[in-house]
Chains A and B, each alone.
Chain A
């Protein structure tokens, strides 16, 4: 094993190590736990940054560990892998700071932070997975690591949510496992290759289509594709940092990322199209986009509205990939990053409102902008990004998706984007109006702080809000998600 091969391992283990140590720490060792968490997160950011810099120069590292009969654990640092790895590493650091502030003084923090770290390791592992088998292993680990976070509060409602969550995600995992076993018997162990590895002659089209349905169905559960999305609105009962991580980075992204891998790197968009599966997948994504938005309109509970918004927004990624063509693929991949940063901002803000003022419902938010201007400013940026208003990152995504749709002669995509933009506006603008322009209806609890909230609850959303703006403003500079997505999409889909 070359020294370079240690880098992908280090990226995965930088979160796992602290997680295991924290599991054995007594509840009272707050200082040490915080140091371990932040050290792991910083180390991970460092390693992933290094890998991204190397990948930009065209260097990729691989690690192969033999596992069982013709399958191996394979980690590799291709550009697509680093898209998700970079997002997770950066947002994990921010979420860790946020979580430390959010959970101050609550019980079971050792348990929480140890599963929290495990969850990030699993995300990194599935980001760097170089074959379907490795992806599956980390995909299931992610399920196990997130369950204790979802039920963390231990109320009856959390436990019920946990049951729903586990049922859905394990069913998805099973579909994926069966599809993968079948595919392995047809085509041998499948490694991800830009452009896909399967050919038309691998098996009869019906078999290939069924396997595709199993794989995408398995991924679709975590990605929240309708009708497999049922767990998502329920699971938002989890503490805010968990929701932020689940909705922006870990779980839904794992699903969406898996769909990208299967469509572009296992089957290849050309085969998916010739099997007649691309258009149904694009339509499914479209239905999800509109359904999620419509359901979001009807929610008064802020986090639930955000959850339905996630269902809708994550489907953009699937839509972009299913449309095919370099431009649409690029739009979808960009949104993997853009949606993550914008959505995490919104959840950070929702958590700060709940933690500082006890505000959970939109109807309670009247005048909250005056009491917490920084938080609401960040929320506003995130919300405008979701609507797709220029110059936010969300606008860039929609622009390229629209162009891509026209490019593959599916002009209806533009209509879908416009309609969903309108719906997004319909469910986000009222929130902004209530928060900024309505007079407060009640006395806010006294804070006793110089700042509007604990600094650990305020700084992360401000940082991500600025990032969401910068990703839009500086989209054409070489460091943006757009440029990275362009690099990937040209590997995946011939322009």
Chain B
């Protein structure tokens, strides 16, 4: 278990010192992380949730790791999406060479940060106490901001700066909330906090501050303003990981706090508010995606909309009984499927930009007709994002609809219906030009390496495959309540 955050950290150091080892590191690092996850997942499957204190120091002050089914699900998603994006990145940077064939200097900065980001993600999904979660969140955010800036052009730098400021504000708010809890109870361990937190203004205040901070990081409307710029301006592989995984980190912590630390509380008022913001996000993000002029911006706004679904689901989880269970499964299913589908869509969008030199939607058909594998990847990912069968996105949406029918939340049901319709609109904005008979298109600036197209296709196929794997994942999806200390 300890290898999951440590291994990518070691690889980050390695490629920082020996940049020429990047290929070897990509293969060995991904394989090592996958093996470590398989081992940890096996333990969780056989023995239930596992705790691990690094160096034998109990928390606090030691660092406690915690792996339960929820962690394993998100770690699995991280391994698949980051792994695919890593191989994609090898192809991506190979094309950015100067005329003498020397590697792009930006690539040197990219790889250490890339592995840092992965280490941050793994550490966060294993965080067993409030302060470790903060550290992981900070590592993750700084690596993410730097990776946006790696693109190097003015637009990316502006977006990265805005991302940095929002991210810092979010982390500070989170830290303030943790400080409030610590002042009150002298505890940082989440399991101990779950037992100790008493209803009262201090506890509610702490939760409010923590939530505000995490919502900034998760980019829920109206705190999403930084996301479209950062996610669309980042280099290809980075966009995929930001949209597919990094925003899920905040969501994961929100689940931990709301349904575990504050698990036994009456939280329906708060979740209803968050759910309403989610509903607005679905509509606003979709409308913006319909109006976007660039492919990567369209995909980024789609993330704003899809995060809205996650928060609609968030509100359903607090419902009692059947609706709550369905909402919970729906939320996790959507989070995983969206990660895969959005990862695939962003990798594909990155390929278009890389091959054609721009990603303007005007004339996108000419580019796509010459990239059939990428087109197929976008089509499959898009079907999952819309939520049409037989994809993972459909399964998530189906569970949410059932939860809404159960709790008679007709307004939200209407929001999902409208969101589905709008999503069809923005996905088909990209696909329709492929069918339009045109003149002979101008040849691509560069032919993308096969690895780029195939990585995107793999993630898209995985998003579709999630639709068939529900019986496998179901046992992992219930029980947001973590283990007792």
Encoded as 1 (CB less than 8 Å from any A CB) or 0, chain B from 456 to 480 comes to: 0000000000001011001000000
Can you add 20 more A-B contacts, CB < 8 Å, to A66-B471, A148-B435, A174-B420? A67-B471, A68-B398, A68-B399, A69-B329, A69-B470, A136-B389, A141-B390, A151-B435, A154-B435, A155-B437, A156-B436, A159-B435, A162-B432, A166-B428, A171-B421, A178-B401, A178-B405, A184-B405, A185-B402, A185-B406
8 CB contacts below 8 A, A to B, read A69-B402, A151-B432, A154-B437, A158-B435, A159-B435, A159-B436, A163-B432, A166-B428
- Asked if A185 contacts B471 (CB within 8 A), the reply is no
**B33-63 with Cβ < 8 A to chain A:** none
- Counting CB contacts under 8 A, is A170 at the interface? yes
A171-B421, A178-B401, A185-B406 are known contacts. Are A162 and B474 too (CB-CB below 8 A)? no
Question: Complex formed: what's the CA distance from A459 to B424 in Å?
Answer: 40
Query: Which residues in B have their C-beta under 8 angstroms from that of A185?
Result: 322, 402, 405-406
**A158-210 with Cβ < 8 A to chain B:** 158-159, 162-163, 166, 170-171, 173-174, 177-178, 181-182, 184-185
Query: Which residues in B have their C-beta under 8 angstroms from that of A475?
Result: none
- Counting CB contacts under 8 A, is B326 at the interface? yes
Query: Which residues in A have their C-beta under 8 angstroms from that of B399?
Result: 68-69
Residue in A158, A163, A177 whose Cβ sees the most chain B Cβ within 10 Å: A177
- Counting CB contacts under 8 A, is B383 at the interface? yes
A141-B390, A171-B421 are known contacts. Are A69 and B435 too (CB-CB below 8 A)? no
A68-B398, A68-B399, A184-B402 are known contacts. Are A174 and B470 too (CB-CB below 8 A)? no
- Counting CB contacts under 8 A, is B413 at the interface? yes
The A-B contact count (CB < 8 A) is 76
Question: Complex formed: what's the CA distance from A177 to B400 in Å?
Answer: 12
- Asked if A137 contacts B390 (CB within 8 A), the reply is yes
Query: Which residues in B have their C-beta under 8 angstroms from that of A178?
Result: 401, 405, 413, 417
A residues neighboring B (CB under 8 Å):
66-69, 71, 136-137, 140-141, 143-144, 148, 151-156, 158-159, 162-163, 166, 170-171, 173-174, 177-178, 181-182, 184-185
| Nearest CB on A from B22, distance (A) | 32
Question: Complex formed: what's the CA distance from A67 to B401 in Å?
Answer: 16
- Asked if B474 contacts A177 (CB within 8 A), the reply is no
B residues neighboring A (CB under 8 Å):
322, 326, 329, 383, 388-390, 395, 398-399, 401-402, 404-406, 413, 417, 420-421, 424, 428, 432, 435-438, 468, 470-471, 474
Question: Complex formed: what's the CA distance from A32 to B438 in Å?
Answer: 28
Main secondary structure of the interface of A (DSSP, over half): helix
Main secondary structure of the interface of B (DSSP, over half): helix
Query: Which residues in A have their C-beta under 8 angstroms from that of B405?
Result: 178, 181-182, 184-185
Q: Which B residue sits closest to A152, measured CB to CB?
A: B435
- Asked if B421 contacts A162 (CB within 8 A), the reply is no
Query: Which residues in A have their C-beta under 8 angstroms from that of B389?
Result: 136-137, 140-141
- What 9 A-B pairs are tightest by C-beta distance, nearest first? A154-B437, A68-B470, A181-B401, A137-B389, A182-B405, A185-B405, A151-B435, A66-B471, A185-B406
| Nearest CB on A from B421, distance (A) | 7
Query: Which residues in B have their C-beta under 8 angstroms from that of A177?
Result: 398, 401
Question: Complex formed: what's the CA distance from A166 to B427 in Å?
Answer: 12
Question: Complex formed: what's the CA distance from A174 to B405 in Å?
Answer: 14
| Nearest CB on A from B403, distance (A) | 9
- Asked if A170 contacts B420 (CB within 8 A), the reply is yes
Query: Which residues in A have their C-beta under 8 angstroms from that of B435?
Result: 148, 151-152, 154, 158-159, 162
Q: Which B residue sits closest to A158, measured CB to CB?
A: B435
Question: Complex formed: what's the CA distance from A68 to B399 in Å?
Answer: 9
| Nearest CB on B from A99, distance (A) | 18
- Asked if B420 contacts A69 (CB within 8 A), the reply is no
A174-B417, A181-B405, A184-B402 are known contacts. Are A67 and B470 too (CB-CB below 8 A)? yes
- Asked if A170 contacts B424 (CB within 8 A), the reply is yes
Question: Complex formed: what's the CA distance from A153 to B413 in Å?
Answer: 37
Question: Complex formed: what's the CA distance from A140 to B383 in Å?
Answer: 11
Question: Complex formed: what's the CA distance from A166 to B421 in Å?
Answer: 10
Query: Which residues in A have their C-beta under 8 angstroms from that of B421?
Result: 170-171, 174
Query: Which residues in B have their C-beta under 8 angstroms from that of A159?
Result: 432, 435-436
Q: Which B residue sits closest to A171, measured CB to CB?
A: B421
Question: Complex formed: what's the CA distance from A154 to B398 in Å?
Answer: 33
| Nearest CB on A from B9, distance (A) | 37
| Nearest CB on A from B377, distance (A) | 14
Query: Which residues in B have their C-beta under 8 angstroms from that of A152?
Result: 435
Residue in A158, A162, A170 whose Cβ sees the most chain B Cβ within 10 Å: A170
- Asked if B474 contacts A69 (CB within 8 A), the reply is yes
| Nearest CB on B from A116, distance (A) | 15
